[in-house]
Amino acid sequence: MYLNINKEDLLNPLAKVIGVIERRQTLPVLSNVYLLVKNNLLTLIGTDLEVQISAKIQIDCNEEIKTTLPGRKLLDICRSLPDESKIKLNFQEGKVLINSGKSRFVLRTLPAAEYPLFDELQYINEFSINRDVLFKAFTKTLFCMAQQDVRYYLNGLMLQISNGDVQAVASDGHRLALFQHQSEENDFSMEQIILPRKGAQEVLKLLDKVKNDVDVKVAKSHIKLTIDDVQLNAKLIDGRFPDFKNVLPEESEHNFNIDKQLFKSALSRVSILSNEKYKGIRLDLSKQLMTINANNPEQDEADEEVTIDYDGEEMSMGFNSSYLMDALNVIESDLVYVSFTDTNSSCLLEDPTDKSSRFVIMPMRL
């Protein structure tokens, strides 16, 4: 069986599915991509058993081919070839011969029957959502997800929709990001789901390259998103996300606006001498002034004064500088609105020009 294909026609779908394939696998077949050629359509599929991504592209091939190939090796081969190269794949028993120009490669294949494809499910909810809304929801919250937390429900992104009101929340227990948008075009609803970390990351990558609406199908324990010519299937995290509304600080008199770039630059400089593990910095507020201070076990110290429009009482609070920087990086305005309730309360960061997103950072003891 032969497949003659342009480099770009193979590389494009391969690049879309490769992100879900882990470099180290317990099952050899999970390092492979599933390849299906049928009716002039090439389908490539990658999975890690929790998330599955499939991409399709029209090609000129009357053969019917079904096998699995080493995903990252095939990707590296395609990327190494000159642009507009012609690739010939000769599928034989247990291997594939790849020829392009004067280059020749031999890759070991595994039977397609061994590949753990997701079953097609009975979906209980179907709707389409605006790409820009979904992209913004993921961009503004994804960075707050926990990594391998024993509270498994924090290792993902919570989504829920009520009559077109889209909410996305992520938290690692030390910080929280909330996105909320009321859609005027749709009145669809979706009960709370928690998309696993890998699935959320791959959705954001795919959304970055498209403009069309996204079709969503939800089953009891799975979700399927169709993003142009790509389908992403993911197992949902079984659990209930904590009531995040209790974490959001109430409106406080202790607040100020600050130039975002000025704040980021000062944090970046001072945190050089913070504790390498905890990244702790202290914010001291006084009339029209904020002092950012850091020190470490080696007794190094750094501090920087920033003029702010603040007339409240003097306050001193400790925070993880990396958490502050992460929130500042997704705020698009030149100004950032910062508020506190008291010295032991969390910090609330907002974009003064966009009230759809809020970022809460818990204090730390220094």
Per-residue pLDDT of 261-301, as tens digits, reads: 999 999 999 999 999 889 999 999 999 999 999 999 999 99
Residue whose structure tokens are 């010939």? 88
> What band does 252 get if pLDDT is binned at 50, 70 and 90?
confident
pLDDT of residue 22: 86
The strand pairing partners of 308, in sequence order, are none
Strand partners, 226: 215, 231
CATH of the domain at 315: 3.10.150.10
Same domain, 231 and 284: no
Name the burial class of residue 137, with classes exposed (0-12), middle (13-18) and buried (19+) by CB atoms within 10 angstroms of its CB: buried
Instruction: Give the model's pLDDT for residue 251.
Output: 73
Res 120: pLDDT: 86
Domain match, 97 and 208 both: no
Q: Give the pairing of strands 280-286 and 2-6.
A: unpaired
Distance CA 45, CA 67 (A): 11
The label of the residue with tokens 């910080």 reads 175
pLDDT tens column, 26-39: 899 999 999 999 99
Average pLDDT of the chain, as a whole number:
94
In this structure, are 155 and 76 located in the same domain?
no
- Looking at the fold, whether 221 and 239 belong to one and the same domain comes out as yes
pTM score: 0.92
Q: How far apart are CA 260 and CA 52, in angstroms?
A: 38
Secondary structure letter of residue 23 according to DSSP = S
151 with 75, same domain: the answer is no
Range of the domain at 190: 125-245
- Looking at the fold, whether 217 and 270 belong to one and the same domain comes out as no
Q: Which helix (H) or strand (E) holds 257?
A: strand 254-259
In a domain, 120, yes or no: no
Among 79, 95, 114, the domain boundary falls at: 114
With a pLDDT cut of 70, the percent of the chain lying above it is 99
For the chain, how big is the Rg over CA atoms in Å?
A: 25
Q: Which of these three, 214, 245, 276, is where a domain ends?
A: 245
For the segment 338-359, the average pLDDT, to the nearest whole number, is 92
In tens, the pLDDT along 108-123 reads: 999 999 999 999 889 9
Distance CA 256, CA 309 (A): 6
Q: Give the number of domains in the chain.
A: 3
pLDDT digits (tens, 9 = 90+) for 174-218: 999 999 998 776 678 999 999 999 999 999 999 998 999 999 999
Confidence of residue 329 (pLDDT cuts 50, 70, 90): very high
- Calpha distance 338→184 (Å, rounded): 29
What pLDDT score does 222 carry?
97
- Per-residue confidence (pLDDT) for residue 183, from 0 to 100: 77
Looking at the predicted structure, is the pLDDT value of residue 250 above 80?
A: no
Classify 54 as helix, strand or coil. strand
